[in-house]
Amino acid sequence: MDWQDLHYFLALARKGSMFAAAKELHVDHATVSRRIAALETSLGLRLTERLPRRTTLTEQGRVIASVADEMNRIADRVYLQAKSLSAAPTAVVRVSASPAVAAQLIAPAVADFMQKHPGVALSLSGVSHHVQMDKGEADIAVRLARPDDPDLITRRIGTMRFGLYASPSWLDMPPESWVFIAYESSLEHVTQQKWLGSLLNGRRIIFRASDLMAQQEAARRGLGVVTLPCFMGDADSSLVKLAVNSPPPVRSIWLVAYPEHRRDPSAVRVMEFLADIIGKACPPDRHP
């Protein structure tokens, strides 16, 4: 059996069509088809059912795909382990966090960290999605949801609290006349967005943005009322916190990494740094 054939088959299992698999692998449709046919021949099994618009897996194909996926995960772990063992004297540790946490909490503290640990270089990515750590997109992640990957180690390092904020002029306006700033509609599932939705009672959302810092800037300009993490809103002298009857939500903050990084002194220093600065800005509750 050619291991590359298995790689092509896994892409098909993930994507559900020859064309989508070919696009992911940067090859043509015929190459994917040929590779999977070769795998079926070498295994003596029929792995796929080829329909006019899509390709499905047979029962045998689903079993092989499950085993192959586990093999792929092991290969990714081998890569991460090798990277850890061959770390250069000046190690680059890649950290992923949400844009607000990256910009407001981590970045301002990096200079002090670098002075104390000149042999460690930080690469910080502020993204709203969860990076694929098993693909090496980050060494350490700060997340607002506990991952369900059993291979990852997780540590609860803080609690993100929220509140309603606005420019001081809104204090003179009756609450029934408030208008709001919110996430765009595709993010209605976000915890703080759901809470804001429960407060509207027919009042308008006047501006939407996917970026929390854009929402904050709009609120500074007096556009409306916004939901912000308290570490952002409380530190902004141009905003005031508004009283609400409904208790604001809280979200646990998790530090996430693979176990290999606990044996990497540079990664350990970065994890301690992240736990310290986030724990001070967003002190964890006593209970998860």
The string of pLDDT tens digits covering residues 64-91 is 888 877 877 777 777 776 766 655 545 7
Q: Structural domains in the chain?
A: 3-84 (1.10.10.10), 88-159+252-281 (3.40.190.10), 160-250 (3.40.190.10)
- pLDDT value for 131: 84
- pLDDT value for 61: 79
Q: CB–CB of 260/254 below 8 Å?
A: no
* Structure-model confidence comparison of residues 175 and 16, the more confident one: 175
- pLDDT value for 129: 81
pTM: 0.67
Residue 183 pLDDT exceeds 80:
yes
The string of pLDDT tens digits covering residues 31-67 is 888 888 888 888 888 888 877 667 788 888 788 888 8
